[in-house]
Structure 1
Amino acid sequence: MSDPAPRHVRLLIIGSGPAGYTAAVYGARAMLQPVLIQGMQPGGQLTITSDIENWPGDTAVGGPALMQRMEDHAREMGTEIVTDIVTKLDLQQRPFTAECDSGARWTAEAVILATGAQARWLGLPSEERFQGFGVSACATCDGFFYRGREVIVVGGGNTAVEEALFLTNFATKVTLVHRRDSLRAERIMQDRLFKNPRIEVVWNHEIDEVLGSDTPLGVTGARLRSTVDGSLRELKADGVFIAIGHSPASELVKGQLPLRDGGYVQVEPGTTRTAIPGVFAAGDLTDDVYRQAVTSAGMGCMAALDAEQWLASQGEAQAGPDAPSMAEIVAG
């Protein structure tokens, strides 16, 4: 049986977090008839975040609920949303070609990459069990919930130190657990950490297990294992923040697009344009600084506008009396 013929689209969006769904809304409003392929985790990282209190317009909203609203919005605007996983992407010539796990193939005049990034986890079953219920990988997202409580931060680099310092704005005590006897963070960051009276460092230890309760589901502490002699000890805490880095999902474009340190896709400053004309990148795939839902959504908007403008320059954007101008799109 021969392979199915590829289906051609004007704009293909790969990824379904805030960046992907926002790009889909703006792309649809620009009459680009976008197709969005959701990927392995429809909705992205926010689907494992129980409560969000920093999304504009919502005092509090569940992560899965917010992502469902974004998906519904994109569909309502006219985006075709496909539940599939892109396994191969060829950006060497236009039209660009994507192959999916289902066997489906797509060609596209323009592509927006919004595959996001995943926090690196320790890989413990207890860690996974309490994700969203006391275990987090984002202090700026969840720190507010630990006002007046004690928390643990795991890691030894800049991210871990920054998270620990940030959490002192809320927590009464922050314990930094590091598996070595020295930190990798920049010296100025270390100085701030050591001078902060709310922070204690536990050297030469790693998390053996996250401890918690079932009713209600929540973290009560962690069991630590010495990396020197293997001895165990328990540490009381209301939350555990894993800060050992993030891994951007850039495997599809490795060797095709320039990547920055850590594997983040490089874009032209102030835009979402990559080194290949017609290919745009947005959200956590490109962002190793902010990593917030609202900034990802903003970049998704930028990517759609950049794509619309680029397609128009190629004479391939939707023409006609119903097509909005760039000014109308930006005005919203």
Structure 2
Amino acid sequence: MPDPRRVRLLIVGSGPAGYTAAIYAARAMLAPVLVQGLEPGGQLTTTTEVENWPGDESVQGPDLMARMESHARAMGTEIVMDIVSRLDLSRRPFRAETDGGLVLLADAVILATGARAKWLGLPSEERLKGFGVSACATCDGFFFRGKEIAVIGGGNTAVEEALFLTNFATRVTLIHRRDSLRAEKILQDRLFRHPKIEVIWNHTVEEVLGESAVEGLRLRHVATGEERILPCQGAFVAIGHAPASDLVAGQLELHNGGYVKVEPGSTRTSVPGVFAAGDLTDHVYRQAVTSAGMGCMAALDAERWLAAGPESAVGETVSQTRDPSPALSHY
């Protein structure tokens, strides 16, 4: 393993929060190092049309993230294509280790690891992942040309996935466990008008059928318990995301099912010098624009904290330097 490298500010994650934090931190001459993570660009790289990013009436998600990355680099951010596999927040400087063997000792850390797709938790789903079961229409939709596809979910992601998949499929069936969708009304209008899309209400998926590839879904009506078989060759799970907080579980205070808890009106976590932004902290809004705003906040918070002289605390055990106060409210 190479010798540890000291950095002023480490940013973990590369979605809108991470890249925005990097831009602001670089402009503040903090020489940030950003480790991109498993999915460079975050969830927007698996999104097609983005119509609510200010200044762009319509932009492809991957294109938007490529622009953010380019901007961060142009400002002077060092971007590392690697994954932080271990992060020790118990002492300063904070220590990060990557899959590639890099060891970084950071005076301050901004966490922007975002969220990951949720799955149904079915053994048949797990067995057929990559063989017709997917959570990313933009990644895998092309492979289902001329086939019948099912999408499971009822929020924005599910509706967007269903609409996108009509570019390839002969039929798209949206399966939702309730009798109404949670998606934005404009997306619902497009969905209901589309001739290739059918909605099955009040049903859950009990099993993904098929041996070596998806052949259909076994559905159950939530009220009557009656079961039915839906033939299809692809199943896209779009039931939301969970915060990617495994890296800091047991080190930072979490709430609401794993979201990192921050002080109201800030990005400060329960450990001084560690800041969090984006979907990792946000269980309410979960939008690209709010993530970017929190990335800005995190960079400003980190800049002010570093300017206050945390160097005096190098080598100090920090797990008890701030009591995770019960007064911290939900962000």
TM over 0.5, yes or no? yes
| Alignment RMSD (CA, Å) | 3.7
Counterpart-to-counterpart distance in 1, 2:114 and 2:40? 11
Which residue does the alignment assign to 1:319? none
Classify the secondary structure of the residue corresponding to 1:24. helix
Give CA-to-partner distance per residue, 1:81-121, whole Å, 9 cap, x none.
Answer: 01111111010111111011111100011000000101213
Q: What is the identity, as a one-letter code, of the residue corresponding to 1:131? A: A
Which residue does the alignment assign to 2:43? 45
Give CA-to-partner distance per residue, 1:21-72, whole Å, 9 cap, x none.
Answer: 0000000001111000111111111111122121111122111111111111
Please tell me whether residue 126 in structure 1 is matched to residue 132 in structure 2.
yes
User: Residue 162 and residue 129 in structure 1: after superposition, are their counterparts in 2 closer, same or farther (change >3 A)?
Assistant: closer
User: Residue 88 and residue 284 in structure 1: after superposition, are their counterparts in 2 closer, same or farther (change >3 A)?
Assistant: same
Q: What is the identity, as a one-letter code, of the residue corresponding to 2:260? A: V
Which residue does the alignment assign to 2:202? 202
Please tell me whether residue 8 in structure 1 is matched to residue 14 in structure 2.
no
Contact 2:135 2:236 in 1 (8 A): no
What is the identity percentage for the equivalent residue pairs of Structure 1 and Structure 2?
54
Classify the secondary structure of the residue corresponding to 1:152. strand
Please tell me whether residue 226 in structure 1 is matched to residue 219 in structure 2.
yes
Contact 2:154 2:182 in 1 (8 A): no
Counterpart-to-counterpart distance in 2, 1:138 and 1:300? 28
Q: Structure 1 residue 205: deviation in Å?
A: 4.2
User: Residue 4 and residue 55 in structure 1: after superposition, are their counterparts in 2 closer, same or farther (change >3 A)?
Assistant: same
Please tell me whether residue 262 in structure 1 is matched to residue 257 in structure 2.
yes
The partner residue of 1:54 within 35, 52, 55 is 52
Counterpart-to-counterpart distance in 1, 2:186 and 2:55? 24
Which residue does the alignment assign to 1:22? 20
Contact 1:150 1:173 in 2 (8 A): no
Give CA-to-partner distance per residue, 1:182-224, whole Å, 9 cap, x none.
Answer: xxxxxxxxxxxxxxxx9863335447379xxxxxxxxxxx943
The partner residue of 1:280 within 254, 261, 275 is 275
Counterpart-to-counterpart distance in 1, 2:303 and 2:28? 7
Which residue does the alignment assign to 2:174? 152
Counterpart-to-counterpart distance in 2, 1:166 and 1:258? 37
Q: Structure 1 residue 266: deviation in Å?
A: 0.6
Classify the secondary structure of the residue corresponding to 2:294. helix
Please tell me whether residue 98 in structure 1 is matched to residue 93 in structure 2.
no
Counterpart-to-counterpart distance in 1, 2:84 and 2:280? 15
Classify the secondary structure of the residue corresponding to 1:4. coil
TM-score normalised by length of structure 2? 0.71
Contact 2:153 2:174 in 1 (8 A): no
Counterpart-to-counterpart distance in 1, 2:111 and 2:303? 15
Q: What is the identity, as a one-letter code, of the residue corresponding to 2:174? A: I
Instruction: Describe how 1:187-198 pairs up with structure 2 within 5 A.
Output: none
Classify the secondary structure of the residue corresponding to 1:162. coil
Q: What is the identity, as a one-letter code, of the residue corresponding to 1:226? A: L
Q: What is the identity, as a one-letter code, of the residue corresponding to 2:219? A: S
The partner residue of 2:307 within 288, 299, 312 is 312
Counterpart-to-counterpart distance in 1, 2:153 and 2:201? 19
Instruction: Describe how 1:131-142 pairs up with structure 2 within 5 A.
Output: 131-132=137-138, 133=141, 139-140=155-156
Q: What is the identity, as a one-letter code, of the residue corresponding to 2:298? A: A
Q: What is the identity, as a one-letter code, of the residue corresponding to 1:152? A: L
Classify the secondary structure of the residue corresponding to 2:134. helix
User: Residue 291 and residue 140 in structure 1: after superposition, are their counterparts in 2 closer, same or farther (change >3 A)?
Assistant: same
Counterpart-to-counterpart distance in 1, 2:185 and 2:54? 25
Which residue does the alignment assign to 1:253? 248
Gaps of 5+ in 2: 142-148, 165-170, 312-331
